A = this chain, B = another copy of it.
Amino acid sequence: MGARAGVPCAVVGATGYVGFELTRLLLRHPRLAPPLLLTRESGGNGAGDLAEVFPHVSGNGSLRLEPFAWEKLAARGVELLFLATPPETARAWLPEARRRGLRVIDLSAAWRLRTPAYRAAYNFADADPAAAEAIEQQAVYGLPELARERLRGAQVVANPGCYPTSVILALAPLLGAGLVDTERGIVADSKSGVTGAGKQATPETHFVEVASNFRAYSVFTHRHTGEILEQLGLAPAELVFTTHLLPIPRGILSTIYVHLQRRLAAGEVEQCLRGFYAGCPFVRVFAPPRLPEIQYSLNTNYCDIGFALDEGGTRLVLVSCLDNLLKGAAGQAVQNLNLVYGWDEKEGLA
């Protein structure tokens, strides 16, 4: 990659699906120095090259993986840390990272939730609750379309979950305009590809259990529910959120059912969506009868949103699609990076 000028940064967790996708984006980002690639294991056996784990990137020079150590970050002058780790790790490491003055973009769920009841789903055990609370106050929930201003200069960015990104972006405009009858209940029926389940080999991710199959999981209990409720200001009784596993590697489609407060024309719904996302380069609004499909946003940072309205004009089905590894994770992290530093939002994402 050569010695390129730019912000010195590091990635922890480059060998996971999200971390790998992130690393590929960061390597191409024109305003970053090539990232230091760190594994969570602090022992000696974390060494190696990313191309051994992902031969996809072989032939591009050395992409050395090193065991994590705070001193390495200091020695390399790292000022920006990306965490693509389990939430427990990110929860435990943030206080030290902040003490060392590191800016952090955390792709895990560690710092996304402010509502204790929702956070309880993660069972975090904070060694220093006061430090944790301070970070919570500081962390910006990094959904760029909703938090563009707060992101500028943010020290801690909590990068949103993949499912919540797809549901929140679809609902925010209509909820914001007061057009949804939330009391009648919203249903978000989401479907995701298998990279969303992580790279760990489990019985649930075995090819034979997934291919030619389809299933619902975590009905009423998915940990992303709190994230959606909190960001949209909904009460738990106002949303049912379910998740399903698609026999594809990547991509999310959410089908979302709402009752409108009053009869609307399709043009009004479209205008509401388009108005809300004016100036947002990574949201595409589809006009009926065209609906988003997973294939359209694969390998892009787009969130695509479309809808269908019933004849009566009061029942609305929203359909949103995104690539769970990009707009649902690594791409969104880069978008956040750009906004934090005040760069062009599309930098490194074209």
Interface residues of A (CB under 8 A from B): 17, 28, 55-56, 58-59, 184-185, 187, 189, 191, 194-195, 199, 201-203, 205-217, 219-220, 237, 240, 242, 244, 246-249, 251, 253, 255, 257, 259, 284, 286, 290-300, 302, 308-312, 315, 317, 319, 350
Contact = CB atoms under 8 A, between A and B. Distances in A.
A191 B244 CA distance: 11
A296 B287 CA distance: 37
A253 B247 CA distance: 13
B249 A246 contact: no
A199 B308 CA distance: 28
Number of copies: 4
A28 B7 CA distance: 26
A166 B185 CA distance: 23
Contact of A219 (B199, B249, B296, B308): B308
A220 B308 contact: yes
Contacts of A208: 17, 194-195, 199, 205, 249
Contacts of A185: 184-185, 259, 315
10 contacts: A58-B284, A59-B284, A185-B259, A189-B189, A201-B201, A207-B209, A212-B248, A215-B295, A216-B319, A246-B247
A350 B207 CA distance: 28
Nearest to A253: B214
Contact of A211 (B28, B247, B296): B247
A290 B216 CA distance: 10
A241 B257 CA distance: 10
Contacts of A291: 215-217, 219
Given A201-B201, A247-B248, A259-B185, A293 B215 contact: yes
Nearest to A57: B296
Nearest to A56: B296
A65 to B, nearest CB: 17
Nearest to A306: B216
Contacts of A28: 350
Given A212-B298, A220-B315, A246-B246, 5 more contacts: A59-B284, A194-B207, A207-B249, A219-B319, A247-B248
A16 to B, nearest CB: 11
A206 B211 contact: no
B214 A294 contact: yes
B214 A212 contact: no
Given A206-B205, A240-B310, A212 B212 contact: yes
B310 A220 contact: yes
Contacts of A205: 201, 206-208
Contacts of A311: 220
A261 to B, nearest CB: 15
A242 B189 CA distance: 11
A213 to B, nearest CB: 4
A180 B302 CA distance: 39
A249 B211 contact: yes
A191 B28 CA distance: 32
Contact of A203 (B191, B201, B211): B201
Nearest to A55: B296
A214 B311 CA distance: 25
Given A205-B201, A291-B219, A317 B242 contact: yes
